Amino acid sequence: MVGRTVEDLYPRSPRSPGDAVLEINNLAGTQRPLAATLTLRRGEVLGIAGLVGAGRTELLRAIFGLDPVRRGRIRIGTYVGPHSPARRWAQGVGMLSEDRKAEGLALSMSLADNLTLSRLPAFVLPSAQDAATLRWTQRLNIRCRGPRQPVSDLSGGNQQKVAVALDNLRRRSQQS
């Protein structure tokens, strides 16, 4: 379309694999996955793909600690073994559910309530809660009327942005 090859637009440069940050070996859940094995190295981007029912979601839920592990090995950084979601957050791992309406957000609550739920002691005053919410709405360009707007009133894309902010805040609260 522009008269050049893709290689000219995006030239390859020499790369060397980084340290392994995630290793899954023969991981099996209660039903799925059956025997997943993979290694993710620093600097790489990993995509998990497959047909519905293939075990993609179950694999990620098992790694994060939401689903039980029947057998196999999980290593994230220096942490080995299955752990609870609270431990995964403390280890710097987060997970965004593909089902934001059922698992990712409290749709009947406001943006402010969703974004500060995991850090309630720090946000006793509504003004502090609103200020924290405004920082995230600006940072992620969440289109809303304000911090007190119900999350259910937002578009799907803006709900997803709230879920991204929420996951980030959960991990930060576990680390502090």
What confidence tens digit (pLDDT) does each residue in 133-172 have?
A: 999 899 999 999 999 999 999 999 999 999 888 777 766 6
The CB density around residue 169, as the number of other CB atoms within 10 Å, is: 19
Percent residues over pLDDT 70 in the chain? 90
pLDDT confidence tier of residue 175, bands split at 50, 70 and 90: low
Task: Return the ∠ at Cα 160 (arms to 99 and 176), rounded to 5°.
Answer: 95
Is the whole-model pTM more than 0.85? no
Residues 24 and 55 reside in one and the same domain: yes
> Are residues 82 and 110 located together in one domain of the fold?
no
Average the pLDDT over each of 3-7, 49-53, 94-98, 128-132 and give the range with the smallest value.
3-7
47 & 79 share domain:
yes
| pLDDT reported for residue 153 | 96
Better-predicted residue by pLDDT, 109 or 123: 109
Determine the average pLDDT of the residues in 3-9: 78
Cα dihedral 124, 130, 153, 117, rounded to 10, equals -30
Tell me: do 109 and 163 sit in the same domain. Answer: yes
The arithmetic mean of pLDDT across residues 33-47, rounded, is 93
Helix ranges (DSSP H) in 49-117 = 56-64, 85-90, 111-116
Q: Are 116 and 154 found together in one domain?
A: yes
On whether residue 64 sits in a domain, the answer given is yes
pLDDT, greater one: 3 or 126: 126
Confidence check: pLDDT of 16 > 90:
no
If asked whether residues 24 and 90 sit together in one domain, one would say yes
Q: Which of 45, 63, 94 is the last residue of a domain?
A: 94
Split into its structural domains, the chain has a count of: 2
Structural domain boundaries, residue 132: 102-175
Q: State pLDDT tens for residues 45-85.
A: 899 988 988 999 999 999 999 999 999 999 999 999 989 98
71 contacts: CB under 8 Å, gap ≥ 6: 26, 27, 28
Average pLDDT, the chain: 87
